[in-house]
Amino acid sequence: MISTQIKDKIILYGNHISQPSRSVMWFMMLNNIPFEFKLIRLEKLDHRSKSYEKINPMKQIPSLTIIPIENSNPKDSSSHHNGEETIFESQAILLHLFHRYRKLCQIPGHWYPDPHSHLTEHTKVNMYLGYHNSQLRPAVGGLAFAVSIGPNAFGMAKDETNIRQLEKKTHMVLKQLDTFWMAPSEDVSSSSAGGNARYLCGQAKISIADLLCYNELMQLSLMSNASVLWESEMFKSYPNVCKWLQLMSKTPEHDKVFKFLNILKEKSSNERTSKL
Ligand SMILES: N[C@@H](CCC(=O)N[C@@H](CS)C(=O)NCC(=O)O)C(=O)O
């Protein structure tokens, strides 16, 4: 149920093909934050237009604009109450939404553990966020782009040497996920979730780290003929990752968020078959 408490007008600029855009839209859907979606067509270079550059000078998606309508308090000088605010970088957007609407939308604390009461869990999620941007996304997102999105959506030539290197990096990352970020904790007392640590960073419940990671890995489904990612050849040596993928696939709104990616997967799989 969408929150009727929020009076702000929230606009998400993004695309269903973009992993960080999906993370932001999924978070808002799961937490009943109302938003308007503006499609930015990467293949038509909408993100490089003069009008979009004013929203995000980095010319990337996602971006979020928040326009306070009735809630503004002229006595409050903090920037987000004074007028329109535009944010880019998916992690910054997710954290802004969490902090800004936590009370109004009753967003549960597991999405981003509170540093004052759960400093260890909070730090682990932050560790993943750094790892995500520096290691996981360049490898996994890079591979899906080099093999599928680049050639299929942007007509780019395949660079086999680059693809081999990205495959190696992706397997390294999948191994790290399997043996560290998603490994069941041997010492259950080391995690506040104990034996219930089913999500990333030893959490019993989903956090923003899970959304970001899952969206990135799902990009690899574009390269696979398996109907679900955990049955694909690439994942067969990573049982903990497969277990987590299955768990994440049951998250509410999943099919809505991945509808377009599945259509694209179908299309690229038909193209692969027709070339055989
Ligand atoms: N670190 C950024 C990455 C944003 C990003 O790489 N967006 C891609 C789409 S997934 C994009 O806009 N690409 C177009 C370009 O860089 O020209 C975030 O997390 O928001």
Ligand 1 atom with least separation from CA of 18: 10
| Geometric angle at alpha carbon 97, from 93 and 103, rounded to 5° | 165
How is the beta sheet containing 36-39 ordered, strand by strand?
36-39, 9-14, 63-67, 85-88
What are the CA-CA distances from residue 43 to residues 39, 169, 264 (Å)? 12, 27, 14
Quick one: pLDDT at residue 243? 97
Q: Is 20 in the pocket of ligand 1 (CB under 6 A)?
A: yes
**Smallest CA separation from ligand 1 atom 9, residue:** 18
Quick one: pLDDT at residue 274? 56
Quick one: pLDDT at residue 188? 42
Ligand 1 centroid – CA 225 distance (Å): 26
Ligand 1 centroid – CA 107 distance (Å): 26
| Whether the Cβ atoms of residue 116 and residue 122 lie closer than 8 Å to each other | no
Tell me the backbone φ, ψ of residue 87, rounded to 5 degrees: -130, 140
Residues of the chain whose pLDDT is less than 50? 71-72, 74, 77-81, 187-189, 276
Quick one: pLDDT at residue 69? 83
**Smallest CA separation from ligand 1 atom 1, residue:** 89
**Smallest CA separation from ligand 1 atom 3, residue:** 89
Q: Is 18 in the pocket of ligand 1 (CB under 6 A)?
A: yes
Quick one: pLDDT at residue 3? 66
Specify the amino acid at residue 22. R
Bridge partner list, 87: 64
pLDDT in tens, 220-275: 999 998 999 999 999 999 999 999 999 999 999 999 999 999 999 988 777 765 55
Ligand 1 centroid – CA 244 distance (Å): 25
| Whether the Cβ atoms of residue 248 and residue 212 lie closer than 8 Å to each other | no
Ligand 1 centroid – CA 188 distance (Å): 37
The rounded radius of gyration (Å) of the Cα atoms in the chain is: 19
| Of 22, 52, 61, best ligand 1 pocket probe by most atoms within 8 Å of the beta carbon | 61
- The whole-model pTM stands at 0.92
| Of 58, 59, 60, best ligand 1 pocket probe by most atoms within 8 Å of the beta carbon | 60
Ligand 1 centroid – CA 170 distance (Å): 19
Ligand 1 centroid – CA 5 distance (Å): 31
Ligand 1 atom with least separation from CA of 212: 19
Quickly tell me which residue has 């038909």 as its tokens.
Answer: 270
Quick one: pLDDT at residue 70? 65
Quick one: pLDDT at residue 260? 96
CB neighbour class for 64 (10 Å; exposed up to 12, middle 13-18, buried from 19): buried
pLDDT in tens, 166-190: 999 999 999 999 999 998 875 444 5
Give which of 266, 248, 269, 214 is closest to 22, Cα–Cα. 214
Ligand 1 centroid – CA 77 distance (Å): 32
